[in-house]
Amino acid sequence: MNVKSFSIMTFNIRFGLAPDKNNPWDKRKKSVINIISEKNPDFIGIQEVNDFQLEYLKDNLKDYNVTGLYKKKDPNWQEIPIFYKKDWDCILSEHFFLSDTPYKESKFTESQWPRQAVTALFSNKCSMVSITNTHFDFKDSVQVKSADLIRQKLSCLNTKIPKVLCGDFNADPTGKCYHQFVFKAPPEFKDPFSNLQSATFHGFTGIPNTGRIDWILYSGNLSPLSGKIIEYCENGKYPSDHFPVFVKFSIDQD
């Protein structure tokens, strides 16, 4: 049996146009790069990325390529890119909206904002993996619809391909959309974190004030080797109002 591994981070970096007087992007951006470089993940699912943040990430993450961009010409637009190490090849990438019309800019009626997802298929010399990055809206009803849409998309992929789902779901593991992913097949996802009550949103305080709303879930022939919610700060300042989440997986292949 041939065992390989890869790592992934999900990171809501807080959009750069937010009115954060004490935590503007220019004072946070180096620490965003520093924590990514320290953990050195193979894949990074990032949320809330304004265009100038995207350019900064591309300029400073030299070992990565990026996929999943919608490229709307609006300075307020927030991308949800997947960055991936250059020793992986992206052989398929699909961007879609969480809506009844996923291939045009749109939203479910109950959704406050147009929400998106990106699914991409990656390969290297000995492994293949599907990565999905997303950012959900707030209401239970629209979260369930969004989860069902993503599950439908992923069920079309070969069942032998291991799948990882990451993002900001604006719901903790008690939410209905978590149940849709973890208890409703196919594909039936697993959670690498045994402590379901751990938390990721902290509003730049370092003290979590909601549950774990940033997830990494997996299905297929993957085994989590390690997982961590990264409570990283530099000189008392945090790179975002969310903690990034990191997991390393092994891939078991016959």
- Report the distance separating Cα 121 and Cα 168, nearest Å: 20
Q: Determine what percent of the chain is predicted with pLDDT higher than 90.
A: 88
User: Top-level CATH class of 2-253?
Assistant: alpha beta
Is residue 31 predicted with pLDDT exceeding 60?
A: yes
**Residue 106: how many CA atoms within 13 Å on its side-chain side?**
11
Is residue 212 predicted with pLDDT exceeding 80?
A: yes
Q: What band does 215 get if pLDDT is binned at 50, 70 and 90?
A: very high
Q: What band does 1 get if pLDDT is binned at 50, 70 and 90?
A: very low
What residue spans define the domains of the chain?
Answer: 2-253
pLDDT at 209: 84
Measured in Å, how far apart are the chain's first and last C-alpha atoms?
5
Q: Average pLDDT for residues 226-239, to the nearest whole number?
A: 94
127 token code pair: 């492994």
Question: What digits encode the pLDDT tens for the residues 121-176?
Answer: 999 988 999 999 999 999 999 999 999 999 999 999 988 999 999 999 999 999 99
Q: Of the ranges 33-37, 66-70, 133-137, 231-235, which one carries the lowest mean pLDDT score? A: 231-235
Is residue 194 predicted with pLDDT exceeding 90?
A: no
Is residue 10 predicted with pLDDT exceeding 80?
A: yes
Q: What band does 80 get if pLDDT is binned at 50, 70 and 90?
A: very high
- Report the distance separating Cα 139 and Cα 117, nearest Å: 17
Sorted by sequence, the CB contacts under 8 Å of residue 13 that are 6+ apart come out as 28, 32, 46, 47, 48, 49, 53, 239, 240, 242
Phi, psi torsion values for 94, nearest 5 degrees: -130, 125
pLDDT at 68: 98
pLDDT at 29: 97
